[in-house]
Amino acid sequence: MIFETIGKTGHEEVVFCHNQDAGLKAIIAIHNTVLGPALGGLRMWPYKSEQDALNDVLRLSRGMTYKNAVAGLNLGGGKAVIIGDPSKDKSEALFRAFGRFVNSLNGRYITAEDVGIDVNDMEYVFRETEYVTGVHQVHGGSGDPSPFTAYGTLQGLMAALNFKHGNEDVGKYSYAVQGAGHVGSEFIKLLREQGAKVFVTDINKDSVQRCVDELGCEAVGLDEIYDVDADVYSPCALGGTLNEQTIDRIKAKIICGAANNQLATDAIGDELQRRGVLYAPDYAVNAGGVMNVSLEIDGYNRERAMRMMRTIYYNLGRIFEISKTQDVPTYKAADRLAEERIEAIGKIKLPHMGNGGTRFAGRMRGQ
């Protein structure tokens, strides 16, 4: 049934990667390369089944097509997943074996960090292929993308506040932040620097405690986060938290966070629009990380990366205006913005077939 599935989702290529000696079971999904090579992160997760892993990589890679298109990048969408527990299944051999599969695609897919992966893991992948972003600064890379994703999320938040309330005074409002991992904790720091009241929850109690002790946040339970009387709900963990069970509990009039795939279904996005809740589409908000690592292709520059983050503010403004003038939910407005760009460029470009001038200037690979 896989050809039927990818026929519906529009994927160009799905690669199943297996190396028994290294314990590697991975899937690489390339959704669309009209705008350029497919860029998207590598996720490591203990999926309950191979079907769950396939469903996740197909969904996430499609999301990357839209994210990269809205962000204005000359990149398509792809994603990779490794089936395994990141707390105990990592090894040099595992990631180097994965790197060889990435290299075999000859530049059609460029990988990066995602959930369960850190810059040290990327170092091993980088030993086998140059088609890696987010590598350590010592190699001329950009390093951890989390601070940029968080800063980009702040730009999206400011656009949402301006559209909803006519001001960008972040510190004037209260926030229910779900997730205090790499990105969530960086986002919380930015909120607290502006004096905002922040409620926080995370599955990792130590992460929550650090936010309380070091940043002055108020801790709430995992399930209680939906009932907090906050102005903004910020999902910054795994996706699907906006669903039939939670939307009646969320009091916030703005939803803006760094998590992927926040809407469990499109119908939830429709309902939020009906209720007058401003939803900032996730892939437009959290594009800061991919914007940052994309600069490695032409030679990384941190100042240029920070300037790029500001485009998230303007992109969200365009999405909100499309939503208003065309009377469609914001998630549909974001999709339209992405699809229009892909269609326009698609008339003058064929899909990226690999090794077409991808450069990675200024980087050095060690053996």
pLDDT digits (tens, 9 = 90+) for 136-155: 778 777 877 889 999 999 99
Provide the pLDDT for residue 187.
Answer: 98
pLDDT category at 16 given cuts 50, 70, 90 is very high
pLDDT at 362: 63
Distance CA 296, CA 141 (A): 6
In which band, very low, low, confident or very high, does the pLDDT at 359 lie, cut at 50, 70 and 90? low
Q: Which of 176-180, 278-282, 351-355 has the lowest mean pLDDT?
A: 351-355
Judge whether 142 and 295 are in contact, CB under 8 Å.
yes
pLDDT-derived band of residue 357, with 50, 70 and 90 as boundaries? low
Binding-site annotation: residue ranges: 179-184
State whether the Cα torsion 131-137-143-147 is positive or negative. Answer: negative
Q: Give residue 115's pLDDT.
A: 85
Name the binding residues for NAD(+). 179-184
Q: Which CATH superfamily is domain 2-65+75-138 in?
A: Leucine Dehydrogenase, chain A, domain 1 (3.40.50.10860)
| 8 Å CB contact between 349 and 356 | no
Q: What are phi and psi of 192, to 5 degrees?
A: -70, -30
Start-to-end C-alpha separation, the chain: 41
- Same CATH fold, 145-342 and 2-65+75-138? yes
CATH fold group of domain 145-342: Rossmann fold (3.40.50)
Across 181-200, average pLDDT:
97
- Tokens at 83, concatenated: 């089936």
pLDDT tens for residues 69-113? 999 999 999 999 999 999 999 999 999 999 999 999 999 999 998
Give yes or no for residue 339 having a pLDDT over 70.
yes
Place of tokens 């690489």: 28
Which residues make Cβ contacts (< 8 Å) with residue 245, sequence separation at least 6? none
Q: Which residues are catalytic?
A: 79
Considering the entire predicted model, what is its pTM?
Answer: 0.86
Domain extent listing, the chain: 2-65+75-138, 145-342
CA 332, CA 340: separation in Å to the nearest integer?
12
Cα 246 to the center of its chain, rounded Å: 22
Burial 239-267 (b: 16+ CB within 10 A, else e): bebbeeebbeebebbbbbbbbbbbbbeee
Tally Cβ neighbours within 10 Å of residue 219: 15
**Amino acid found at 47:** Y
| pLDDT computed for residue 302 by the predictor | 85
